[in-house]
């Protein structure tokens, strides 16, 4: 079985403390891949500091996380601010223990609020395979659109990784809406949120891993913690055979 971990960080930590926290949790973590929250490397509700914390895909955060991935033999998927082509993207990427970037994603949908002042939108969805499991990627608001989740699921993935920065007043999204995305596509879904308060913004926590049947396999509480679930690609095949939504959707060519 593939072991998938979700790391729910304390949002109040500065970038250096976030890396320290990551280094502290990894030695005792028995998992193949760890997914971390949206803008994990930089902080989310940090105002104009977002402008100065942008970096290239191979920047300082990638180097630090790549070193940890190699040391502890684990792939790490994390959110960061990508500086490219003169603009900033709300991005995520996954780095393997060999230092290889397995996959990258730029947030497709920018929600109401401050993000539109800082970030350009992405336009593509990518998948990657790691240790026999195929992954797709979305970020936060992206997954709230059923069309985006279906677009990724239709690429043949077993798991959709979703770093998020969900506020404390949006519990229904984490508790009901997002688990439904797994059920309606017959895939696992890993939702990695922050916890606590960052510059006055309270985060919900409640990160989870959902099954292809819509069951929440494991869910975090409201504080920083790490959760782990087992992923079985055969369960994806069974779920999609039982409810062939994806096949019917592709037949309709909508």
Give me the catalytic one of 140, 144, 198, 206.
140
List residues bridging with 197 in a β-sheet: 202
Q: Is 71 a catalytic residue?
A: no
In degrees and rounded to multiples of 5, residue 14 shows phi and psi of -80, 170
Give me the catalytic one of 55, 94, 107, 115.
107
Of 48, 147, 40, nearest in space to 90 by CA: 40
How far, CA to CA in Å, does 198 sit from each of 13, 170, 177, 202, 251?
A: 8, 16, 24, 7, 46
Gap between the Cα atoms of 26 and 128, Å rounded: 23
Q: Is 94 a catalytic residue?
A: no
Going 231 to 213 to 176 to 138, the CA torsion angle's sign is positive
User: For the chain, how long is the longest CA-to-CA vector?
Assistant: 49
Within 8 A by CB and 6+ apart from 194, the residues are: 8, 9, 10, 11, 37, 38, 40, 44, 165, 203, 205
Catalytic residue numbers read 38, 107, 140
């Amino acid at each position: 079985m593939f072991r998938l971990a979700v790391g729910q960080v304390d949002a109040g930590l500065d970038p250096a403390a976030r890396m320290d926290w990551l280094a502290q949790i990894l030695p005792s973590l028995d998992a193949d891949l760890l997914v971390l929250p949206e803008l994990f490397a930089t902080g989310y509700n940090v105002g104009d500091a977002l402008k100065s914390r942008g970096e290239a895909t191979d920047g300082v955060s990638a180097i630090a996380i790549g070193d940890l991935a190699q040391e502890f033999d684990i792939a790490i998927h994390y959110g960061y601010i990508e500086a490219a082509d003169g603009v900033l993207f709300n991005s995520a990427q996954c780095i393997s223990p060999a230092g290889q970037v397995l996959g990258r994603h730029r947030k497709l949908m920018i929600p109401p609020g401050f993000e539109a002042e800082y970030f350009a939108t992405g336009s593509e969805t990518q998948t990657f395979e790691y240790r026999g499991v195929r992954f797709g990627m979305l970020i936060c608001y992206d997954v709230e659109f059923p069309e985006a989740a279906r677009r990724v699921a239709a690429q043949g993935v077993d798991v959709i990784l979703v770093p998020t920065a969900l506020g404390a007043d949006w519990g229904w999204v984490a508790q009901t809406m997002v688990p439904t995305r797994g059920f309606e596509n017959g895939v696992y879904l890993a939702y990695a949120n922050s916890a606590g308060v960052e510059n006055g913004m309270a985060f919900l926590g409640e990160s989870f891993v959902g099954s292809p049947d819509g069951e929440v396999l494991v869910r975090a509480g409201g504080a920083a913690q790490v959760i782990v679930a087992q992923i079985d690609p055969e369960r994806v095949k069974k779920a999609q055979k039982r409810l062939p939504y994806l096949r019917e959707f592709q037949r309709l060519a909508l």
